[in-house]
Amino acid sequence: MDFFIEVSDEEIRRERAKARDLRKSNWWKNRIAQGTCHYCGARVRPADLSLDHIVPLARGGKSTRGNCVPSCKECNNRKRDLLPMEWEEYLARLHKPDEDRSAD
Ligand SMILES: [Zn+2]
């Protein structure tokens, strides 16, 4: 498995700038208004949700709507420390016990 993708500083800067714009958009305001962490499903105050890139910019992820999700502080911190594979295992554990969680 090869996780190495070369991303230039220039590209990362550009994508960070896009993320900043995205954060000001109505699309994003609607997302966080729901007050739910994309990863763990916790109910969180909108002010405590941060914009997280599912595929990190440093790994070639883009600041697109499909790649940006609201994340609670806990998931955000955890994700930063984990390798992508470990993060997937963490998510699998989170989602396994109650797959039939009703979406409201
Ligand atoms: Zn979370």
What is the band of 21 on the pLDDT scale with cuts at 50, 70, 90? very high
Give distance in angstroms: CA of 102 to centre of ligand 1.
17
Between CA 44 and CA 12 the distance in angstroms is 28
Between CA 50 and CA 55 the distance in angstroms is 15
Structural domains of the chain ordered from first start: 9-97 (1.10.30.50)
36-71 pLDDT per residue, tens: 999 999 999 999 999 999 988 888 899 999 999 999
Q: Tell the residue number behind the tokens 């998931």, with chain if given.
A: 75
Give distance in angstroms: CA of 30 to centre of ligand 1.
18
Between CA 31 and CA 38 the distance in angstroms is 10
Give distance in angstroms: CA of 52 to centre of ligand 1.
11
Task: Note the pLDDT of residue 88.
Answer: 87
Residue 35 clears pLDDT 70, i.e. is over it: yes
φ/ψ of 53, rounded to 5, equals: -90, 120
Task: Note the pLDDT of residue 59.
Answer: 83
Task: Write out the residues surrounding ion ligand 1, Cβ under 5 A.
Answer: 37, 39-40, 42, 72, 75
Give distance in angstroms: CA of 5 to centre of ligand 1.
26
Whether the model clears a pTM of 0.85, i.e. scores above it, the answer is no
Task: Note the pLDDT of residue 96.
Answer: 75
